Amino acid sequence: MKQSLAGLSLAELTELLKPLPVFRARQLFRHLCCGTRSFAEMTDFSLSLRESMERRFSLYSSEVAQRFVDRDGSVKLQIDLSDGARIEAVLLSDENGRKTACLSTQAGCPMGCVFCKTGSLGFNRNLTSAEMTEQFLHLQAAAGSRINNVVVMGMGEPLLNMTELRKTLLFLTGQDFGSRQFSKRKVTVSTCGIVAGIRELAENGPDVRIALSLTTADEDLRGRLMKASAANPLSALRNALLSYQQRRKRRITLEAVLLGGVNTRQKDVDALTVFVQGLDVAVNLIPWNPVVGALFEGAPLRQPSRAETDGFAERLRKQKVNVTVRLKRGRGIAGACGQLGRLSDTRV
């Protein structure tokens, strides 16, 4: 199989192209970052060089298999990897036209949170950094204009794929990426709460933002909804967040997917109020997006009513918790949080 180039760092490209001079690697790198889709388009290389590169290399290791566009402007790409695994990447557009790329880090996910479609698929494998970066490049080609933010919130648990995740983050936020370089403030990694991974990011960076999928601060309920919780108890998580904040000085987002009648009790308000004390956090409430067949202890999960969501937010606000209810972007293409998974459930 030909070596694919997109997603490689400038240093890796330089090594591959030897004995060609470094400026050639830089030229090629620029093409890859701009989304050039074929060697033929690289007219700043001689024809013979283009042909020899074409013989040795391919541009991408992955391929966009399907593209879904939502009425709200969001785009979901289903992407086939070289071994046949299929993943998804989403471009979310907000009302101000700002674009956010949402990237996957694993094919499937081993964590099995009961409310999440990806969790129901089981775990296939970790993605390579090139496969993650390629998602970004495919989305950039689909976006047609600049992407403003990156969230690592697609399929899989990013902090269980730390080495490849770090390479991807360094690529996107590195100087090599040229005028497209992302500020580290514009990149957010979402985790179900892997204590060792949060500590690792706090100590060794890169200095990106983090979002913790808390779901609830009631330990018992959290344990029943998210199996990651058993090895990562709330007290240890809170300490990891504190050290991240001492070290990185960044506000942390806490995400809580709201499950109707399950984690919207007064007990959840009280526990969350205690959990956030001493932390600089913003809480995002995400009304659950339906996942066909999702059960919690034998009973089907349901979306919270509008009144239930607003009431929950209001009770938290009364406790001086900084809360936002998140808009459901991308729902029409099953590209919203926790809906990434399988084509059969997708309605376009």
Exactly one of 153, 194, 254, 276 binds ligand SAH (CB under 6 A); that residue is 153
Q: Which one of ligand SF4, ligand SAH, none interacts with residue 286, CB within 5 to 8 A by kind?
A: ligand SAH
Q: Is 288 in the site for ligand SAH (CB under 6 A)?
A: yes
Looking up tokens 């093409």 gives 31
191 binds ligand SAH, rule: CB under 6 A? yes
User: Coil, helix or strand for 11?
Assistant: helix
Q: Which does 260 bind (CB under 5 to 8 A by kind): ligand SF4, ligand SAH, none?
A: none
By the rule CB under 6 A, 194 interacts with ligand SAH? no
Residues in the chain: 348
- Binds ligand SF4 by CB under 6 A, chosen from 8, 59, 192, 259: 192
The one of ligand SF4, ligand SAH, none whose footprint includes residue 124, by CB under 5 to 8 A per kind, is: none
**Residue (30 or 248) nearer to ligand SAH, CB:** 248
Distance from C-alpha of 200 to C-alpha of 236, rounded to nearest angstrom: 14
The Cβ-side half-sphere exposure at 336, using a 13 Å CA radius, reads 22
Residue 153 · residue 190 · CB < 8 Å: yes
Crossing angle for the helix pair 234-248 and 195-204, to the nearest 10 degrees: 10
Considering only 17, 81, 89, 116, the residue that binds ligand SAH (CB under 6 A) is 116
- What are the residue numbers of the active site? 88, 337
CB of 192 vs ligand SF4, minimal distance in Å: 4
Is the dihedral angle over the CA atoms 19, 10, 87, 147 positive or is it negative?
negative
Q: Which is nearer to ligand SF4, 59 or 254 (CB)?
A: 254
Please select the residue that binds ligand SAH; options are 131, 157, 164, 218, rule is CB under 6 A.
157
Closest by CA to 188, choosing from 114, 284, 268, is 284
Q: CB 269 → ligand SF4: shortest distance, Å?
A: 22
Residue type for position 94: D
Q: Which two tokens stand for residue 94?
A: 């907000």
119 binds ligand SF4 (CB under 6 A): yes
Measured from the CB of residue 122, what is the shortest distance to ligand SF4 in angstroms?
10
Residue choice 57, 60, 68, 115 for contact with ligand SAH (CB under 6 A): 115
C-alpha closest to that of 28 among 179, 176, 181, 169: 176
Return d(Cα 62, Cα 83) in angstroms, integer: 9
Peptide bond into 158 cis (omega under 30): no
Restricted to residues 282-341, the positions that interact with ligand SF4 (CB under 6 A) are: 338
| Beta carbon nearer to ligand SF4, 118 or 289 | 118
Q: How far apart are CA 128 and CA 133, in angstroms?
A: 9
What residue ranges bind ligand SAH (CB under 6 A)?
A: 115-116, 153, 157, 190-192, 213, 215, 255, 257, 286, 288-289, 291, 337-339
